[in-house]
Structure 1
Amino acid sequence: MGVVSVVDHVPAFSRGDGLPEPEIHDVLRNERRRAALQFLRERAGEAHINELTTAIVHREADQESDTKSLRQSVYSSLHQTHIPKLEGADVVAYDEDSNVVRLTTNSRAVDRYLHLRPAHGVSWGEYYQLFAVTSLLVTLLVEMEVAVFAAIDPLPVLTVALVVLALSVGYQLWTRRWIYVRSLFS
C-alpha cells in the first residue's frame, strides 16, 4: 500500500490555486448566491444566516408577496442549497453552531467575476477611474491655460486632487477594514 499525500485529495481551488473558472460561473449562476455574496461583502465578510435571509427577502419581495412564505423559502434554499454550494467551493465557511456565514479568502477569486454594485450604484473602481480622468483633464486644462482655467494656479488643483484621493482611499480602507484584517489571519 503506497503513501497517499493529503494534498492529493484536496481540490485545486483550496490549495491556493484559486477557483477554476467553470466553478466560479457555477457558483455565480444563481441570483440568491450572488445576493448572499454581495450582502456578506457589505457586512465585512460575515453575517448570521437570519440577517442574510432578511436581506435577500427585502431584495426579492414586492408589495404583493407573502413575506412570511418568501422568508421561509429563502431560508430553506440558503440552508439546504446555496450555502452548501458556496461552502463546497470554499467561498464561504458556515458555522452551524452559531449560524454565522463567513467569506473565505477564496471569495476574492469570485469578486473578479462578480461586479459588486454598492447601493449608490458606483463601484470603487468606477469612482477611481472617473476621479483620475477628471483630475487629469482639469490639470491639463490648467497647465494649457485654456479659457477659465488660465487664472487657476496648478498647485492648489493638484493639492486638492491628492487630498480627495487620500480621503477616498482612507474611507474605503476604513469601511472594509475587517475584511482586510480577517484575511491577514486566515
Structure 2
Amino acid sequence: MSTAASVPARPGETNERERNGESDTLTQETAFEILSCRRRRHVVHYLLQRGEPTSLHELSKQLAAWENEISPEAVTYEQRMRVYTALRQAHLPKMDDAAIVRFDANGGTIRLTDDATKLEVYLDIVPHDGLPWSSYYLGLCGVAVGVLTAALLELFPFNLLPGIAWGFVVVALFSASAVAHKRHDERHHLGQEGKPPI
C-alpha cells in the first residue's frame, strides 16, 4: 500500500485553486454538506480506521456490509456494486472536490487529506441521534434552578433535606451528565473500531 500513499492531487488542481484564490481550508458549509450524507460519513470512518489509503473495491465492500448489517464476506456482488457505483460516480468525486479525500479514479485508490480530521468538530452540530447536548444541559440547568429554589423556599418535599444537600444533588447530576456525555462522544467518534457510529 505504500505506493498508494502518494496518490497525487488531480493534474492542474493546485494551480487552478491558486489562480482562483481558493484555499484548501475546510469551510463550515463544505463540512456540513459532506457530513449530511451517511455514506460519506462512512467513507471517512473507514479511512480513519485503516489509517492508510484503500482501494475502491475494499471500501465499497465494507460500506455494503455496514449498510446491509452483514459481514464483508457475506456481501453479494450486487450489494457491493450498488455502493461501488454510487461512490465512484457521486460521493468520492464530491469529497475529492471538497479536499476531504484524494480519489485516483484511474488507480481506484482513496486516501484522506489533512482536512478530513477537521470534520470531527462538526459532528455534534449535525443532528444524528436525537436531543442535542446543548438542549439537554439547558434543561438540566432549569431543573437545578427549580430544585434549589424549592429548597431555599423550604417547599415540601424539598424541606426534608438541608439546602446544602440539594446543592450536592445538583452537582452529582451535572457530574453524571458530564461522564455520560464523555462516553457518548467516545462511542460516536469517527474512526473508532467497529461499525460507524452514525
TM range (shorter): 0.5 to 0.7
| Residue 76 of structure 2 corresponds to residue 85 of structure 1 | no
**RMSD over equivalenced CA pairs, Å:** 4.3
- SS of the residue aligned with 1:161? helix
Q: What per-residue deviation string (whole Å, max 9, x for no partner) do you get for residues 24-71 of structure 1?
A: 67657xxxx611244467x4873562333333345xxxxxxxx75343
Number of the residue aligned with 1:63: none
Q: How many residues align?
A: 157
d(CA) in 1 for partners of 2:171 and 2:94?
A: 49
Report if aligned partners of 1:53, 1:71 keep a CA contact under 8 Å in 2: yes
Q: Percent identity?
A: 16
Q: What per-residue deviation string (whole Å, max 9, x for no partner) do you get for residues 67-93 of structure 1?
A: 753432122211332022112112345
Q: What per-residue deviation string (whole Å, max 9, x for no partner) do you get for residues 91-146 of structure 1?
A: 3455878756677145357658x72313xx34434443443333333333333333
Residue identity opposite 2:64 in structure 1 = T
- The answer for unaligned runs of 5 or more in structure 1 is 59-66, 180-186
Instruction: Return the match for 1:12 from 22, 25, 29.
Output: 22
d(CA) in 2 for partners of 1:147 and 1:11?
A: 67
Report if aligned partners of 1:142, 1:150 keep a CA contact under 8 Å in 2: yes
TM-score normalised according to structure 1 size? 0.56
d(CA) in 2 for partners of 1:38 and 1:158?
A: 37
| Residue 155 of structure 2 corresponds to residue 150 of structure 1 | no
Number of the residue aligned with 2:67: 56
Number of the residue aligned with 1:135: 144
Which protein, 1 or 2, shows the higher relative CO under an 8 Å CA cutoff with sep ≥ 6?
Answer: 2
